[in-house]
Structure 1
Amino acid sequence: MDMSSYLAVGGWFIQVIFDKYLSYQLQSWAADCGISHEMNRLRVALLRTQSVLHGAEVTPSLSYGSLPWMRELRDVMYHAEDLLDKLEYNRLHHQMQESSSTESNSSPISAFMHSRFRNQGAQASGLEPHWDRSTRVKNQMVNLLERLEQVASGVSEALSLPRKPRHSRYSIMTSSVAHGEIFGRESEIQQLVSTLLSSQVDGDNPVSVASIVGVGGVGKTALAQHVYNNTRVAQYFDMRMWICVTDAFDESRITREMLESVSSSRFRHDSITNFNRLQVALRARLVSKRFLLVLDDVWSNDKITLAIEHENWQKLLSPLKAAANGSKILLTTRSSMVAEMLQSAHITNLECLSDKDCWSLIKMIVFDDTNHLINSQLANIGSEIAKTLNGLPLAAKVVARQLKCKHTTDEWKQVLQRNAVWDEIMPIFQHSYENLPVHLQQCLAYCSIFPKDWEFEAEQLILMWMAQGYVYPDGCRRMEDIGKQYVDELCSRSFFAIQKKQFVSYYVMPPVIHKLAKSVSAEECFRIGGDEQRRIPSSVRHLSIHLDSLSMLDETIPYMNLRTLIFFTSRMVAPINISIPQVVLDNLQSLRVLDLSPCKIDRLPDSIRQCVHLRYLNISSTAINMLPEYLGKLYHLQVLNLSGCRLEKLPSSINNLVSLRHLTAANQILSTITDIGSLRYLQRLPIFKVTSEETNSIIQLGYLQELRGSLHIRNLENIDAPDEAKEAMLLVAMLGSSFHHLVSFHLSGLFGCSV
């Protein structure tokens, strides 16, 4: 992670702490616990640190001597979040006890009506806050404050040191083609040429847009250059313009360059500084002319910026409407959102090349001929080199330049072994990463814990992001929907690719993006297994382990700092009998995500009771047949996946999980939950069986206002008491209008019939 990323993430982290933990509720609780003074000091210290980071972000150059202090600040932020999260845990613990005693005196129907308007924060649990009032907690806060103030001072001092200028690493591309032939793009060339030569017009607008979308280095510009210089295309258009846009949108520069492309008098245009005058001059040049305009490397950082830029682009391109029918704009971009913003009629999604085409491109550059006869040893080495390039033409060109001056097998082997091509091209992908909003940077970096080419479902990943606090609430939409927007944005920028299998959509990171994610997250994310040879960093926070590599776990790993622990195995392999080292299990106090699904364990480790920060627990397909009662004390738990387990029932304490949003288990297991109305954030409940017991009364459903999907209410005939039946009928009528998130709603046993 470079300096600018540290600054952005540091500011984001502080804002998250403010929004999540320094609320009125927690401040009030802190006052009851006798630590309000320390909480106020923490607020002031965070504000001061945030001010320092914001000042550094707007500086055009950065001090790299401050990196050690930024790493230290990151660790302090983690510590602060853990301490405040534990304080929030105890507040929930206490509040749940108070809520339970208060609501036990109200009638079910009135409690339901009250629940529809009550403060969402008043859903918690608790014990008396003995430890909160202790000197130990106050000492922890004081130690945290001293460390934060010291680090903030160090960051401020380091940022005032002489700074290293940041130079642009990106060359401006032109319409000239470096190598006349491109490989593996025959169908794309044919489609694009056909699109550009089409005279079809959309409404009154004489100009139509075509886009080439793909990840950096995949050959978008090379393809555009090839089509731009196609003989038929050159003859078809009266005027052609090539503009390199990059990520610095400058409407005056772009307009002036368009004007210079269609005019012979450059001096006069350089003297025009007024944007409106530039547009008038451009319009005059384009009247009744058929043009081709290539906008190369168009960017947009986020949806808000995109909305603003949409109007800017419409204004910028308005003079083009004076042109003749059949005029075309061809843009290259890494973001499908940009292509949609400019209303592209044709979008070419550019995929990576095959290994064979990569090798052909290398031979063309090295030997100026794909049919050049080379000895079999060089050919074999070259083919192996091509396989390491992840199908990227840019990587093939870089490695070809390295091979061009090398003639022996030993020299080619050195190129293969060093694999230094990525050192040269990774800054291009780093630039794409740095242009992401900070929350998307966090989400993408986290994905490095998955194995290369791993296919995952969006919901699985979103729930992990939520557990880590990466999904930022907006006060209107539910967290899962915001997380889906994050996935869609990363897809639109070519960081994720979609693969459909049997009507199910999976997501996968392109190999080069997986390399990028590993690079930017190297200090915090680590995967044990496969071809990973690095030492585990002491700063690791997120760890995934292939079950074949359990022997690599030892006491040197700082398990107490882990926020993610995921076990992997091959997809088609059944759960494996393993013994997780006790040194791991005994030191997971900071854990947010735990996935034990590939492990053939028959009981949940007792040490999980200390994981008070845990939000995501997946023990699906394990041999566990009984869950401990202490599970109900994991008040922050949002996701509990029990599918495929051998459970006969759930612990009675399950209804204490007041933060639970996703509970996946067999229907017969779900139907054993009593007082399910306590799980007010629950998103899905396929079936609910009514009994004569109050704890399984239909009134319980009145609290579950967040339910999605389908709900089947069975055994309504078990409502016996006249008063309860009257309340039930009223509730059923209310459910029809209140459960507006449900796709289907089915009743059975109501007066002997089904609805």
Structure 2
Amino acid sequence: MGGLGKTTLAQLIYNEPEIQKHFQLLLWVCVSDTFDVNSLAKSIVEASPNKNDDTDKPPLERLKKLVSGQRFLLVLDDVWNREVYKWERLKVCLQHGGMGSAMLTTTRDKQVAEIMGACRAYNLNILEDCFVKEIIEARAFSSEKEKPVELSKMVDEIISRCSGCPLAATALGSVLHTKTSIEECKAISSRSNICTLETGILPILKLSYNDLPSHMKQCFAFCAVFPKDYKIDVDKLIRLWIANGFIPEHKEDSLETIGKRIFIELASRSFFLDIKESKDFRGYYSMRYYPRTTCKIHDLMHDVTISVMEKECVAGTKESNQNEWLLDNTRHLFLSCRNIEGILNHSMEKRPHAIQTLLCNNVVWSSLHHLSKYSSMHALQICVRTEIFLLKPKYLHHLRYH
């Protein structure tokens, strides 16, 4: 079952100081549904601070050069691929690593571990009820206040609905935390679907989504535009919410302030995780570092956004499947593949798209055509050659590509 803590356990191992001292090179890549050998090799190389600049060479060759002679730890998170020949192509490169190198994989599929030839597989068991209760209560009740007896009994009743899944317990506890009366808590308890191996935990996660106010639903569902395990820039995300009109106006507070409150509220309900502060270098001329906050979304919470938005939000990461993901009802588009301009020019010629958000994670080297079909756009991020342009909605009618 998803949500048992496979990725969390892998993170604890990966971040353990003794582990980090042992390996010369640490690499973490989220694989998820798509397993393309060249794309995965490129992702592994890009995950390294020592990545080489041989971008004109094949990804597998770059990977081989990166790991050669290095004692590395490679974590491949959330793997589904069962195609043996793809693993063999990847392993040929990885075998050039130094003595003592290791690969750690998380997967929900036992056969994946067998195909990979894992020397040992660790199966995570479901949590005992006492630990599930501990998670729910820690999320639901303030530590300073004494828990009403009736609420404690209610927690006992809903423990079984989580089926030992910590993510389900966290989601239910976060929902209960927002309730102020016994009646509201009872309503949640009666609505929470049972979490089983057959249904997974999506029903409970969807319950936590359905409990949100309408404007917060819009804000979170929009995150379906990002690929799984994508490191989201929080300030940029809030600007995208504003550009698309998801944030309600308030006479006393700015939209940016309200957007930050929405993000904090969603994070407190466990919709966002891995929230980190860092310094980001921007600009070759200013030579300055700026504070930057990033976050991620659990892959199962990402599944919730996909179930809500379907093909309205699309993250296109491969050129080969563009006909599958770029449909007439696509409104918000994230592209991180090569030949972005070719894909867009072909698509805009063939389909009557009404694109509202376009995020390009790769360089656009030539002109975009059919500019009139971008007239409904609310937000755009595009990298032209070496400069990144973030255009505000009111300037989009002046848009030109060079």
TM range (shorter): 0.3 to 0.5
Higher strand residue share: 2
Larger relative contact order (Cα-Cα within 8 Å, sequence gap ≥ 6)? 2
Higher helix residue share: 1
TM-score of the pair, normalised by structure 1:
0.25
TM-score of the pair, normalised by structure 2:
0.45
